[in-house]
Amino acid sequence: MNPSFRLIIFCFLAALLFTGTGFAAEFEPAQDTTGADPLATSGSASTRVLEAEDNATFFNSQPLSSTVNINATIPITEPLDSSATSPTLSINFSREDFDNPLVEIRTNLGSMILELFPDEAPLAVSNFIGLAEGTKTWIVPESGQQVRRPLYDGTVFHRMIEGFMIQGGSPTGLGDGTPGFQFRDEINARSLGLDKMEVINDSGVPHPILAINDQNDFQQNILIPLYRELDINSQEELELNIDLVDRRLRNMTVKESFENLGYQYTERVISRMPVTGIIAMANSGPNTNGSQFFINLVDTDWLAGKHTVFGKVRAGLEVLDAIGAVAVDNEGRPLQDVEILSIRQLPL
């Protein structure tokens, strides 16, 4: 089948969405809870200006060696009392920059040491540390009370998907809690190379990073947002502009397709790909970051450009894997609690 003809068929199939319903109601870009990106949540810091690069930046610089002493046992098999102290251990690991903050996430399955990246995501890092240590005001969902106390202490990793990620940070422990505020994404699409990736190739096949699995994915994530950009509001308008749609599709980049979904990008930071061990903000769409986060068990290229990466596990990957292997129900909720005892910044 001729690629152009294939695209026209796609367009006319998508036009069926106009029939009998309001077009705008069919697509809600703030909802990011289905398909290839299930990291959804329900419910100012100074920025260092960095020059954006033309090509993708993956930060392959040689890591620096570090040694820290922490009160933790890695790994442990029995639940810890959050008020109890554990033996002091010396842990050797590598990090990229001695000036980057380190945090320890203590859980009842062991501890992880993470290096945070304030140059790449200053708002996310400041928010995470502030909520973790109780220096940032947040609102208790159940009571509506404003408090300044550690938000993460005593919460759980409420969602795990083996071979994908673990998710935590909900103050309710159910995945529906927020800290009572939201803040913007910190993502540089150019440094991720999204502006160089074409939405479809010469054969009409979508780019793998889009994670388009079927016709409905293509309609919801590519075509309908494109119709909105082109102000096409009916099947008749679509038929009149089918050549324009075809040309636009063939010249559209992944960056532009994400922008059509409502994502906004900055060149004031340099971003990195969501690889194994990174910690990133979970959200319910563009600019809806709060307290929830996830940690990757594997590389997840299809999340690039949609989630702010702000750190990486530097020690305790075996603990991360152990948490990711906990048995879960059909909705990904652990059958046994994996509790976050505390998250604290470590001395540099």
What was the pLDDT predicted at 48? 30
231 in a structural domain: yes
Q: How confident is the model at residue 26 (pLDDT cuts 50, 70, 90)?
A: very low
Cα separation, 235 vs 241, whole angstroms? 10
Q: Is the pLDDT of residue 33 over 80?
A: no
Is the same domain home to 112 and 138? Answer: yes
Is the same domain home to 278 and 295? Answer: yes
Is the same domain home to 183 and 207? Answer: no
147 in a structural domain: yes
87 in a structural domain: yes
**Angle at the Cα of 296 (from 346 to 321), degrees rounded to 5?**
80
Cα separation, 33 vs 9, whole angstroms? 27
Is the same domain home to 89 and 158? Answer: yes
- What DSSP letter does each residue of 79-126 carry, written as one string? PPPTTS---EEEEEEEES-TTS-EEEEEETTEEEEEEE-TTT-HHHHH
Is the same domain home to 109 and 138? Answer: yes
Cα separation, 300 vs 262, whole angstroms? 21
What was the pLDDT predicted at 95? 82
Is the same domain home to 173 and 276? Answer: yes
What was the pLDDT predicted at 85? 53
What was the pLDDT predicted at 93? 78
Boundary of a domain, candidates 226, 252, 278: 252
Cα separation, 43 vs 176, whole angstroms? 5
List pLDDT tens digits, range 170-190: 999 888 889 999 999 999 999
277 in a structural domain: yes
225 in a structural domain: yes
Would you give the distance in Å from CA 264 to the centre of its chain?
14
With tokens 């002493």, the residue in question is 69
251 class by beta-carbon count within 10 Å (0-12 exposed, 13-18 middle, 19+ buried): exposed
List pLDDT tens digits, range 53-70: 233 333 334 455 566 555
Q: What percentage of the chain exceeds 70 in pLDDT? A: 74
- What DSSP letter does each residue of 4-65 carry, written as one string? HHHHHHHHHHHHGGGTTS-TGGG--TT---STT--------------PPPSS-----PPPEE
Is the same domain home to 215 and 94? Answer: no
**pLDDT, mean of residues 116-141:** 97
Distance (Å) of CA 273 to CA 106, 170, 194, 347: 26, 24, 11, 27
Is the same domain home to 293 and 241? Answer: no
67 class by beta-carbon count within 10 Å (0-12 exposed, 13-18 middle, 19+ buried): exposed
Q: How confident is the model at residue 74 (pLDDT cuts 50, 70, 90)?
A: very low
CB 114 within 8 A of CB 326: no
Q: What percentage of the chain exceeds 90 in pLDDT? A: 69
306 in a structural domain: yes
List pLDDT tens digits, range 133-143: 999 999 999 99
CATH number at residue 163: 2.40.100.10
102 in a structural domain: yes
Q: Which tokens go with 116?
A: 């945070």
Is the same domain home to 75 and 150? Answer: yes
More confident residue, 304 or 76: 304
Structural domain span for residue 11 = 3-30+198-252
* Residue 270 burial (CB count, 10 A): 18
Is the same domain home to 235 and 282? Answer: no
Cα separation, 336 vs 328, whole angstroms? 8
Cα separation, 183 vs 278, whole angstroms? 20
This prediction has a pTM of: 0.79
- Average pLDDT score, the chain: 82
Is the same domain home to 241 and 121? Answer: no
What was the pLDDT predicted at 155? 97
Distance (Å) of CA 57 to CA 15, 189, 220, 295, 298: 38, 10, 29, 20, 19
Is the same domain home to 112 and 144? Answer: yes
338 in a structural domain: yes
Question: How many independent structural domains does the chain possess?
Answer: 2
Q: Is the pLDDT of residue 198 over 80?
A: yes
List pLDDT tens digits, range 274-313: 999 999 999 999 999 999 999 999 999 999 999 999 999 9
